[in-house]
Amino acid sequence: MTSYPEYVPYPFQAEHHVATHPVCTNGLEDHSHRVVIAGGGPVGFATALGLAKQGVASVVLEADDSVCFGSRAICVSRRSLEILHRLGVGAGFDAVGLPWTGGRSFYKGQEVLRFEMPQDDNQQFAPMVNMAQYSIEKTLLDGVQAYHHLIEVRWQTAVTGITRNEDGVRLAVKTPQGAYQLHTDWLVAADGGRSTIREGMGLRLQGTSYEGRYVIVDILMKSPRPAERLAYFDPPCNPGSTVLVHKQPGDVWRIDYQLRDGEDPEQAILPHQVMPRVQSLLDMMGETAAWNPIWVGLYKANALTLERYRHGRVLFAGDAAHLVPIFGVRGFNSGIDDADNLSWKLGQVVQGRAAPALLETYSSERVAATHENLSYGTKSTEFMAPPSFAFDLMRRAVLSLAVKHPELRSLINPRQSAPIAYGDSPLNGPDEWGTHGPRPGTVLPECPLTYVSTHGDHAVFLSDQAGHGFKAFVFTADGVLPQAWCQVGVDRAADGAMIAHAALAVQAVSLGAPHPDAVDVLWDNTVQLPHLLGAQLGAVLLIRPDGHVMARWRDANVKSRAIVSAWINQLLAANQPTAIGVTP
Amino acid sequence: MNPTELDNAYSHLCHTMTRLGETDSQLFLARLALLAMNRFEDAEDAKAWIDAAAANVSS
């Protein structure tokens, strides 16, 4: 009998958490909650952190007793890193993640594509870092535990039933210490691809499931080879197959290979099938170090989504709302975008600063984002796991022509995750700047800046600026705000509405050298903002708490702080948020 | 065509072939080649593209 390298554990020790049982009367928890989040994965934890940043408490229910096991999400995008830094857990990602900027594709052993993701000197973060999901979850959990006064994680607590009414949601849960029920005003369903909440509400994901299967193998191997995305089409080591290789932190290598038509998936994950294929791949790559398998699993691509992500007081996020193919790394990253979008809106609603209708924009914006993610993910999948003879034949045509015909190489590009714009959002306000720079709905480009304060000058980035409520950038020559933006205490809520003020932060941006008396000024010391943003003297740019551009006004003397504040409050208080009809 | 337009045309081609099925796709590709060939500049040009498509086809 042939012997294969022995299985070894991941270089990661998951902590196991005990179950808790709250004080109940007649099986119902005495305390009622404002927000309960079903699912202690990346999306659930990120949502809890986003709420806690606004001072809103939540309870996270997780069926397991630890962070996840096995090979799941591995690529964290630049946009996700911006969000994670804002949530206060970025340092953990910087410390562990392996940054990379591009990749190479091969056909029959010959290089046919070399791609680079957008990267320049302005960037604070790499376009992508690799990090295993167990590390991602652990890093987020560390952040969650630092907010223990606002976030309670209940481990080994599985949702078994859901009853909805006008005031909220009642959940039935079971724990090793017994079952109980609890009430929450709002429920975030972030309980993954096999969402119990989704099932319990009788909702179905719609879209396409692909037949082609991939085997996923994590191995432990020391190699100085840099982190990049490697794709081998029809490689000499495994003719007819497609193989993807990603380096991960801790000497873990993730290998994905496509099963050939007719191969039995159950057989394909047995050692006598897996180990020789891994060995022949490593031989082909010229990797000679000893290696050990850690984990083997199967993957089948899905492109599915719910029609709407808000169902009354239940909000779906991450894989519970949509399943995006792995090719293009949009699963985890779109889930983090969901959490970022949802948490500020739910925070505003829970704190009485916005009407519940604001949550409709969570659904419409993120459903649109999913459709964009699915259109790219579907194209990637059609290339990586051809769903018919036609896609297979055409792929062979592209790959065999790509060396001599570079104009065809874009068809091999993996269409990696990129920030999504909410171009049609009802929250988008006036745009008086013309077509230059980031239009309402888009994410700000990155730019290094200097923050001038009484404590001295600090190097900062434009992407650091989000996450502090609504923020208006007022573009000045020397950091001195016009009078219309200096007034304090003039914010007024919409007529008669019991809506507290949404905080509007004002940030003076100095396009030239700041005046010696100006403090708390963002100084464009590299003189890039006029070009990057299209920013002109005296103009105003408003961003949302998630960093998406909301409105651009030409004249700060006409659109005063009071007017912009009132406009935001009116928009948030509306029963159907729409920028049309609200006077900005 | 820019990369996005090429990508969309490529997808449309693949979906069309899928719809026609494997047998009819051979004739379909021949017809497409014929229509495309008619848009070439001249016979020289047509010959060059035919030779380019034939290069290494069976390797």
Q: What is the pLDDT of residue A417?
A: 77
CB half-sphere exposure, A95, CA atoms < 13 A: 8
Say how far apart CA A292 and CA A3 lie, in whole Å.
Answer: 12
Selecting from B6, B16, B52 the residue whose C-beta is nearest the C-beta of A410 gives B6
Spatial CB neighbours of A324, under 8 Å, sequence gap ≥ 6: A302, A303, A330, A331, A334, A370, A373, A374, A377
The secondary structure of residue A183, as a DSSP letter, is E
pLDDT digits (tens, 9 = 90+) for A377-434: 899 999 998 999 999 999 999 999 999 999 999 999 887 778 899 999 999 999 999 8
What is the residue whose two structure tokens read 């990797």?
A287
Query: The tokens of A355 are what?
Result: 């009407």
pLDDT bucket at B59, cuts 50 / 70 / 90: low
Q: Show the CA angle centred on residue B2, arms to residues B29 and A392, nearest 5°.
A: 35
Q: Is the pLDDT confidence value at A147 over 60?
A: yes
**Which residues of chain A neighbour B10 with C-beta distances below 8 Å?**
394, 398, 411
Is the CB of A396 inside 8 Å of chain B's CB atoms? no
How far apart are the C-alpha atoms of A424 and A404, rounded to whole Å?
41
The pLDDT, as a whole number, for residue B19 is 98
CA atoms of A256 and A297, how far apart (whole Å): 9
pLDDT tier at A493, thresholds 50, 70, 90: very low
Q: How far apart are CA A232 and CA A240, in angstroms?
A: 10
CA distance B5 to chain A (A): 11
Q: Give the minimum alpha-carbon distance from B40 to chain A in angstroms, rounded to a whole number.
A: 17
* Among candidates B7, B14, B56 on the partner chain, residue whose Cβ is nearest the Cβ of A390: B14
CB nearest B56 (choices: A388, A400, A410): A400
CA distances from A143 to A87, A216, A491 (A): 8, 30, 33
Q: Is residue A35 predicted with pLDDT exceeding 60?
A: yes
What residues does A451 pair with on adjacent strands?
Answer: A458, A522
Tell me if chain B has a CB within 8 Å of the CB of A404: yes
pLDDT tens digit string along A86-139? Answer: 999 999 999 999 999 999 999 999 999 999 999 999 999 999 999 999 999 999
With beta carbons under 8 A apart, name residues in chain B contacting A413: 3
Closest CB to A390: pick one of B7, B25, B56: B25
In the structure encoding, which two tokens stand for residue A515, read together? 């005046």
pLDDT of A495 > 60? The answer is no
Locate the DSSP E strands across A462-584: 470-476, 504-510, 521-523, 540-543, 549-553
Q: Could B57 and A389 be called an inter-chain contact, meaning their C-beta atoms sit closer than 8 Å?
A: no
Q: Which residues of A touch B30 (CB under 8 A)?
A: none
Residue type, A303: A
A489 pLDDT above the threshold of 70: no
User: How many CB atoms within 10 Å of residue A247?
Assistant: 20
CA distance A243 to A518: 57
Give the max Cα distance, chain B.
34
A234 interface with B at CB cutoff 8 Å = no
Query: In chain A, which residue's Cα lies nearest the Cα of B26?
Result: A390
pLDDT at A252 over 70: yes
How high is the pLDDT of residue B37?
93
Question: Which residues in chain B are contacts of A408 at CB distance < 8 A?
Answer: 6
CA distance A12 to A576: 48
In 10 A of CB A310, how many CB atoms? 22
Q: Of A20, A58, A46, A21, whose CA–CA distance to A351 is shortest?
A: A58
Contact between residue A495 and residue A461 where contact means Cβ atoms under 8 Å apart: no
Would the pLDDT of A1 be above 70? no
pLDDT value at residue A212: 82
Q: Is A366 exposed, middle or buried (0-12, 13-18, 19+ CB in 10 A)?
A: buried
Contacts of B17 in chain A (CB under 8 A): 388-390, 393-394
Looking at residue A579, what is its pLDDT?
53
Residues β-bridged to residue A60: A37, A153
Q: How many CB atoms lie within 10 A of CB A462?
A: 25
Which residues on chain B are in Cβ contact (under 8 Å) with A399?
Answer: none
- The answer to whether B29 touches A403, Cβ cutoff 8 Å, is no
pLDDT at A525 over 60: yes
Chosen for mutation from A375, A404, A408, A410 (greatest number of chain B CBs closer than 10 Å) is: A410
Tell me which amino acid residue A78 is.
Answer: R
Residue A566's pLDDT is: 92
Rounded CA separation A569/A577 (Å): 11
Lowest mean pLDDT among A166-175, A179-188, A440-449, A479-488: A479-488
Contacts of B3 in chain A (CB under 8 A): 410, 413
Asked if residues A448 and A574 have their Cβ atoms less than 8 Å apart, the reply is no
How does pLDDT run across A192-238, given as a tens digit for each residue?
999 999 999 999 999 999 888 899 999 999 999 999 999 999 999 98
**Nearest residue, CB atoms, B14 vs list A394, A400, A404:** A394
* Least confidently predicted of A344-358, A444-458, A459-473, A498-512: A498-512
User: For all residues of chain A together, what is the average pLDDT?
Assistant: 93
Distance from CA of B9 to the nearest CA of A (A): 11
Q: Which of A250, A295, A297 is nearest to A7 (CA)?
A: A295
Sheet of A98-100, strand order: A75-77, A128-130, A98-100
